[in-house]
Every structure is written in C-alpha cells, then in structure tokens.
Amino acid sequence: MRVGIGYDVHKLVDGRKLIIGGITIPFEKGLLGHSDADVLVHAIMDAMLGAAALGDIGKHFPDTDMEYKGVDSMELLKEVNEKILNKGYKVNNIDAVIIAQKPKMAPYIEQMVERISEVIGIERQWINIKATTTEGLGFAGKGEGIAAQAIASILEYKL
C-alpha cells in the first residue's frame, strides 16, 4: 500500500460558480482558478498522484496551458485515475476535509462522495469527506478563500 497527501486553496471571488467535489453549491461567490477551481478535487488528485510518485496536478495540468482553462476538475480526476491505473495501482480509499467558514458543506457531502466514487470507480464506503470551519480565524475564517486537504491510499492492481 502507498499513501499520498494533497492540499489546495483558492480565493473566493464574485462572478464565479462555487464548485466543490464536482457539485455546484449555491453561494454568492465562487473560487478563482485557471480551471473550475474545485479545491476538494484538486487536493484529492494531488493525494492520488503523490501516492503513485507521479508529481502533482501542476505538472500534469499546468495553469499556463489554455487547454485547461475553465476545465471541469472531474474530467481531470478521471485522467489522474487513468494515470494511477496505468502505473499498476488502484485507489483504495480517500479521506478529505474541506476548510470553509461559509457556506455550510454538510448538505452537499453525500453528492460529492457519489460523484467522486463514480469517476474513480471505487465504492462510496471507501471515500470520506468532511468539512470544518476555522472559527473565524485566517483566510478561510474571514471568507477570503476555501482550502481542502486529502489523503489517498493506493494498492497494486493488475489490469
């Protein structure tokens, strides 16, 4: 078994949709980024890539490449999963946390788990997503941005 960790943060801005875990969440602001800025999926992808010693998402999907401008992060997650499979591994489990003061994430977590489960082809029971606030402290607590952390384990897998 191999394990990787991922972390991502994006600034909240006006004029963007808020997409986290592949789910559009109603909110007055969205996350700024080259892609759809899905902070949770970005952290998960980095954890998966790290577990397989394949670098990070910036290496595979650079923000200088216009091909990825506005791209759906779930499509990138699918590509990362294919890279993991091609290296002879399969995702075993994911544990992640979203760090945001607002909006509340709890109503959307099951949908996030379902979407991620579908894309990477593992059962929902092996994906855990939780959310926390920072009690008003730091950039997340002040509503300036949202962060996410993830850990992924992978196992050897024969195609």
Residues annotated as binding site?
A: 8-10, 34-35, 42, 56-58, 61-65, 100-106, 132-135, 139, 142
Long-range contact list for 121-128, CB < 8 A, 24+ apart?
A: 121/81, 122/90, 122/91, 122/92, 122/93, 126/91, 126/92, 126/93, 126/94, 127/93, 127/94, 128/93, 128/94, 128/95, 128/96
Contact assessment for residue 31 and residue 10, using Cβ atoms and an 8 Å cutoff: yes
Q: Which residues are annotated as a binding site for a divalent metal cation?
A: 8, 10, 42
| Nearest 10 degrees: Cα torsion 131, 143, 29, 17 | -30
Closest CA to 100 of 126, 72, 138: 138
Neighbours of 100 (CB within 10 A): 26
**Tokens matching residue 120:** 């990477």
